[in-house]
Amino acid sequence: MLTGKRILLVIGGGIAAFKALDLIRRLREQGATVTPVLTPAAEQFVTPLSVSALAASKVYRDLFDLTDEAEMGHIELSRAADLVVVAPATANLMGRMAAGMADDLATTLLMATDKPVMIVPAMNVRMWEHPATQRNLATLRADGIRVVGPDQGPMACGEFGPGRLAEVPEIVAAIDAFFADGPLKGRHILVTSGPTHEPIDPVRYIANRSSGAQGTAIAAALRDLGARVSFVTGPADVPPPEGVDVIRVQTAREMLEAVRAALPADAAVMAAAVADWRVANASGAKMKKDGTGRAPALEFAENPDILRTVCEAPDRPALVVGFAAETGDAQGDVVAHATAKRARKGCDWILANDVSPATGIMGGSENAVTLIYAEGAESWPRLTKTETARRLAARIADALT
């Protein structure tokens, strides 16, 4: 799929830099040409010789190398590729990119390029969660830079959480998806998925029963049609699809912030099962039984309405698709409730389904939906969630093209 594609690979400093060697190997196995650029920090983790041997290419390192500038100036180098990939993208490198700095070869290339850029962040979990990193990430996304990962797991430093470099197959899949031809190529689509968890105390939470399977399938189907997908997911049971920009959240308020940061988009598919309420008096410590037999009094506050917020946003997507999971006694009741919800929220389409326990849809592998729009409604047969997602993705492609 990557035969003849030219990748300019910027390798940032960090222990994850060693994975760039495997990335080079896999990209070349798919037929891509890889031109590597090493930052000074990256040379502390991988050697120019190993990178050059795997890439079968010269390694570029110094902005002021007279030979390199004579043979291929940094401006030409920045524009001779089909895609620029930064892996790993450290907190420092992301910050310099967001600030528009050009003080070494890597950042100068990134400033001078007129080609698409994809970054693969990797850093300590605290650095990833730091407000400065999140501000820089939002800036880079707003600039149109594609983001892959990071994954969640154990760190080399001994901590656990988000910040691990995405696995190499996931990076390759994202690059494959970028080059894939399809009716949605060049389109940016936002997808929300999974439940939200609203804390009661550090141990307990309230949530909706959602596996995230349908939202995940939708994101994958849109990716397969060539879209760039921003996938905002709560703590789902199923892993996110490869080749999409994954933004993990816990609460409804975090999801709203992530959705706002992901806009603008050509379309939004709001498949997440967002908790309608949160605990207003959540405890900072685990609530204990006091021996009286009385349960603690929980006070609830309404969560933000993410779907309506997107519909009313100044940069509203051209197509907004909502979901209505109902438990009516008959499909007609479900459709009536969903039709009213579509009008109330202001979305273009809404998919209604009956999630009563007897249907087996909530948490299951199949779905039966009715697509409701301004002109009417159409009921789809019971399909696998993957087939439902593909049918919806095809309809979205028709609407946007």
295 and 373 belong to one structural domain: yes
pLDDT digits (tens, 9 = 90+) for 71-83: 556 678 888 888 9
Say whether 307 counts as a known binding-site residue: yes
345 is in an annotated binding site: yes
- CA–CA dist 227, 396 (Å, integer): 11
Among 179, 198, 218, identify where a domain stops.
Answer: 179
Q: Do 262 and 378 reside in the same domain of the chain?
A: yes
Q: Which two tokens stand for residue 127?
A: 């650095």
Q: Is the pTM of this model over 0.85?
A: no
Which is it for the CA torsion 107, 111, 112, 116, positive or negative? Answer: positive
**Quick check: is 311 catalytic?**
no
Q: How many CB atoms lie within 10 A of CB 187?
A: 21
Q: In the structure encoding, which two tokens stand for residue 301, read together? A: 């506050």
For all residues of the chain together, what is the average pLDDT? 88
Q: How many CA atoms lie within 13 A of 3 on its CB side?
A: 1
Predicted confidence (pLDDT) at residue 66 exceeds the cutoff of 60: no
286 marked as part of a ligand binding site:
yes
**pLDDT of residue 68 exceeding 90:** no
pLDDT at position 331 is 46
How does strand 245-248 pair with strand 267-270? unpaired
Asked whether the predicted pLDDT for residue 63 surpasses 90, the reply is no
Is residue 170 domain-shared with residue 242, that is, in the same domain? no
Measured distance CA(302)–CA(311) in Å, rounded:
19
Helical (H) or strand (E) element with 26: helix 19-29
pLDDT at 65: 66
Closest to 87 measured CA to CA, from 175, 161, 215: 175
Beta strands 277-279 and 267-270, pairing class = unpaired
Q: What is the pLDDT of residue 330?
A: 47
Task: Clarify whether residues 93 and 37 are in a common domain.
Answer: yes
Residue linked to tokens 């969560």: 303
CATH number of the domain bearing residue 51: 3.40.50.1950
Domain count within the chain:
2
Report which of 367, 27, 65, 384 is spatially closest to residue 176, judged by C-alpha positions: 27
Q: How far is CA 282 from CA 54, 205, 301, in A?
A: 53, 9, 11
Same-domain pairing of 269 and 359:
yes
The arithmetic mean of pLDDT across residues 173-189, rounded, is 86
Q: What is the mean pLDDT of residues 34-39?
A: 93
* pLDDT for res 89: 94
Residues 134, 242 within the same domain: no
- Residue with token string 């001994």: 158
Q: Where is average pLDDT lowest: 157-166, 335-344, 377-386?
A: 157-166
Using 50, 70 and 90 to split pLDDT, how confident is the model at 359? low
Which range of residues forms the domain containing residue 376?
183-401
**Pair 174, 187 in one domain:** no
pLDDT digits (tens, 9 = 90+) for 216-227: 999 999 998 889
Please write the tens of the pLDDT for every residue from 266-317.
999 999 999 999 999 988 888 888 888 888 889 999 999 999 999 999 999 9
Helices (H) and strands (E) in the chain, counts: 14, 21
Of the three residues 163, 179, 195, the one that is the final residue of a domain is 179
Pick the catalytic residue from 142, 157, 301, 343: 157
The predicted pLDDT at position 158 comes to 73
Which long-range contacts link 20-25 to residues 24+ away (Cβ below 8 Å)? 20/46, 20/51, 20/87, 20/88, 21/46, 21/50, 21/51, 21/54, 22/168, 23/87, 23/168, 23/171, 23/172, 24/51, 24/54, 24/55, 25/54
Mean pLDDT of 365-391: 87
CATH of the domain at 364: 3.40.50.10300
Q: Do 266 and 316 share a structural domain? A: yes
**Per-residue pLDDT at 260 exceeds 80:** yes
125/269 same-domain check: no
For 133, counting Cβ atoms within 10 Å of its Cβ (0-12 exposed, 13-18 middle, 19+ buried), the class is buried
Query: Tell me, what's the pLDDT at 72?
Result: 58
Mean pLDDT for 369-397 is: 90
Q: How many Cβ atoms sit within 10 Å of the Cβ of residue 297?
A: 6
Mean pLDDT of all residues in 186-192: 94
Per-residue model confidence as pLDDT tens digits over 107-129:
999 988 888 899 999 998 889 98
Q: Would you say 257 and 135 are in contact if contact means Cβ atoms under 8 Å apart?
A: no
Given a contact cutoff of 8 angstroms between Cβ atoms, the answer to whether 283 and 203 are in contact is: no
First-last CA distance in the chain: 24
The answer to whether 306 is a known ligand-binding residue is: yes
More confident position, 326 or 247: 247
**Do 331 and 237 sit in the same domain of this protein?**
yes
305 annotated among ligand-binding-site residues: yes
Structure confidence by residue, pLDDT tens digits, 322-348: 998 777 654 458 888 888 899 999 999
Q: Is 304 annotated as a binding residue?
A: yes
What pLDDT does 25 receive?
A: 94
Q: 198 and 166 in one domain? A: no
Tell me if 45 is assigned to a ligand binding site: no
Q: Is pLDDT at 394 greater than 50 in this prediction?
A: yes
Q: Does residue 260 sit in helix, strand or coil? A: helix
Q: Check residue 71 and give its pLDDT.
A: 56
Which runs of consecutive H residues, i.e. helices, occur in 145-251? 168-179, 213-224
Rg of the chain on CA atoms, in Å: 23
Does the pLDDT of residue 56 top 60, yes or no?
A: yes
Consult the annotation and say whether 82 binds a ligand: no
Lowest pLDDT segment from 31-35, 161-165, 377-381: 161-165
Which are the contacts of 45, defined by CB distance < 8 A and separation ≥ 6?
A: 13, 14, 15, 17, 18
Question: What's the Cα-to-Cα distance from 325 to each of 216, 338, 348, 367, 371, rounded to whole Å?
Answer: 17, 8, 17, 11, 12
Q: For residues 261 and 231, give the distance between their C-alpha atoms in angstroms, rounded to a whole number.
A: 12
Same domain as 370, residue 336: yes
Mark which of 116, 151, 179 sits at the end of a domain: 179
Query: Is pLDDT of 94 > 70?
Result: yes
